[in-house]
Structure formats: C-alpha cells, structure tokens
Amino acid sequence: MQMTWKRGGLVAVVLFLIGYFISVWWSVEPEPLTPQQLNSSTGKNVVGYATTTSLILTVETLLDKNGGWLSNDIMPPSLFMDNMPAFEFGAIEQARDLALVMRKEFSRSQSQSTADKDLLAAHSKLNIEHTSWLVPSAEGEYRDAIKLLKLYRARIADPNTPDAQFYARADNLNEWLKEIQKRLGSMSQRLSASVGQERLNTDLAGEAEASQSTPNLSSQQIKTGWWQIDDVFYETRGATWALLNFMKAIEVDFADVLKKKNAEVSLQQIIRELEETQQPVWSPMILNGSGFGIVANHSLVMANYISRANAAVIDLTNLLTQG
C-alpha cells in the first residue's frame, strides 16, 4: 500500500511538472507583426492592403500561436491559465474595433453607401463570445472571419471589382482614433486602480445643464481586485500588441494623408509608446507595490505608457481635424 502511494505521488508530481512547462510554453507572447503591402500593376501601393492584412495576420497569430486559442479550453493545463486568455481577449477586442470601423468607415465613401458584404459578415463572426467552445466554437468563427477578410482583400486589390474599396481619408481615420482613445483611457484607469485611489465624480463636468439618469457619489474609492490585477495587465498587453500591429499598417495605408497633415511624427510617437508596452516581463508574477514603495508596480508602469500613447493619439486626432 505504501509503495502504491509513493508511485501515485510520483505520477502526480510528474504530471504537474509536465503541465507547468506546457503552460509556460503556451504563455509565450507573439512578437509584433511587420506590415505588408502590395503594389498594383501601375506600381502604386494598393490602399487598404496593409491594414486588412494586419487584421488577418493578427487573428491568425492568435489562433496559431503556441497552444492555439486558449480562452475556451476546458481541459488542463489551459483551464488553470489566465494570463494568455486575458492577452487573447485584449487583442480580439482591438480586432473587433478595427473590423467595425472598416465596415462602417474605411470601406464606405459616404453615409448613404452600403456596407461591404464580406466585412459585414467578418465583423459578425469576430463578435462571437471568445470563450465559446461547443457549436459554434470561437476558433471556427474566427477562421471564417479570416476567410471573409481575405476575400475582401482580394477584391480591393483587383482593379476589375470597383465595388470593393478602402478609402484612406483623414475623417475615416479619425473615427477609428476616437475608438482608440476610449479604449486606452479605460485601460489606463483600470491599471491605475491597482493601488486604489479616491476619484472625484467628473461625469457632468464641462456642461452646466447636463444631467444623468441616477445620481452618483461625489467621490468614490476605486481599486482593482487582487485576483484581477494580472488579468488587467495581460489584457492590456494583448490590446496594445494588436494595436501596435494595426498602427504600423495604418502608417502604410494612410501615408499620403499623414504627410499632407504633417502628422507622420505623431503616429510614430504612438508606435514608439506601444512598443514600450511589449517589453519583456522578467518578474515571474505581476507585482503590485505602492506608487513609490520598495516593490515595483507593473500596472502603474504600463499605465504610464498607455497614457502617453493616448496623449499622442489625441494630438494626432487634432492634426487630422485641422484643415
């Protein structure tokens, strides 16, 4: 009996170690992508090819990285992993935002024009719950979205199909940047709340006659739960990884617009700040020290980069709005 217990304990230890090393391997984050472009028969860059390809490759990378898509796994070791699923969620949220803007803005010449059928279907596929594992599965729907995006990409690259277009205009780009501002602002607030802080209510600031449905407290204590700190951090890592891929592609497709507005440097500053968010994390766990304490606070460091990126996005939006 004692021998049986020893063997059972040894098997449990071996299985634990195997599961641990697999989870470490599956937690390796993908590298930022390099933008791709395609020249037409006239030698000019096909507008929209880089952005569409970046969206395709970003989703493909999430599906084909080590371990594949982990957010909907119901078996160990991925069942006990939370960092990479949080990374995946942050990245897929950015992919959904870009797909939505491509459907509503980039592919339409004016408000009365119809939405592209492939982009419409692709956006719908990307919006499936990222934890769905049965029928339909998240992976299956995302694969279908990739196929539809490739069809759209082929159509905009074909001069014989003028019904498919990608319009690189300042007003279109601004619509996406407004969504980015909201996302980055939310990320910064959630990261900063890792140490807890009292925040004043500014919901109605700036307009004397403004009102809201129900009254709020004049101030309240905001603090991210201890068990959620690493999830918020890695969700932000995933979101900024995807956003970095998209910004590099935007730099290619909107090169003429940015040059006309003298805004190339502003976009490059955004890219630089986003690159800083992808620095290696050498600590085995996300530390949550106080603001000026002995132990580092990784969330506050990340919040700093996010805030600077958001400030650069606001500057870029202002430049694009100017005539």
Instruction: Summarize pLDDT for 174-218 with one digit per residue, the tens.
Output: 999 999 999 999 999 889 887 766 555 555 555 555 566 666 655
3-class SS of residue 161: coil
Say whether pLDDT at 126 is over 80: yes
The whole model's pTM is what?
Answer: 0.90
Instruction: Give the confidence band of 34 by pLDDT, cuts at 50, 70, 90.
Output: very high
Distance, CA of 49 to CA of 152 (rounded, Å):
10
Lowest mean pLDDT among 98-102, 114-118, 310-314: 114-118
Cα→Cα distances 220→198, 200, 230, Å: 5, 7, 23
Using alpha carbons only, what angle is made at residue 237 by residues 235 and 238, rounded to the nearest 5 degrees? 65
At 48 the pLDDT is: 95
What average pLDDT does the segment 106-134 reach? Answer: 89
Bridge partners, 68 (sequence order) = none
**What values do phi and psi take at 221, rounded to 5?**
-85, 125
Residue pair 230/82 in contact by the 8 Å Cβ criterion: yes
Task: Give me the pLDDT at residue 15, please.
Answer: 82
What pLDDT does residue 171 have? 92
**Average pLDDT of the chain to the nearest whole number:** 87
Question: Treating both helix axes as pointing N-terminal to C-terminal, what angle do 229-253 and 170-192 enclose, rounded to 10 degrees?
Answer: 160
* pLDDT for position 1: 58
> Residue 21 — pLDDT band, cuts 50, 70, 90?
confident
Which tokens go with 203? 């919901």
DSSP string, 24-38: HHHTPPPPPPPP---
Which pLDDT belongs to residue 24? 84
Q: Which two tokens stand for residue 241?
A: 């990884």
Query: Dihedral of CA 93/62/154/264: which sign?
Result: positive
Q: If you ran DSSP here, which 8-state letter would residue 39 be given?
A: B
Tens-place pLDDT, residues 132-171: 988 899 999 999 999 999 999 999 999 888 889 999 999 9
**Residues above pLDDT 70, as percent of the chain:** 86
pLDDT of residue 200: 54
Cα–Cα distance, 69 to 139 (Å, whole number): 7
The pLDDT assigned to 4 comes to 76
The most confident of 69-73, 226-230, 310-314, by mean pLDDT: 310-314
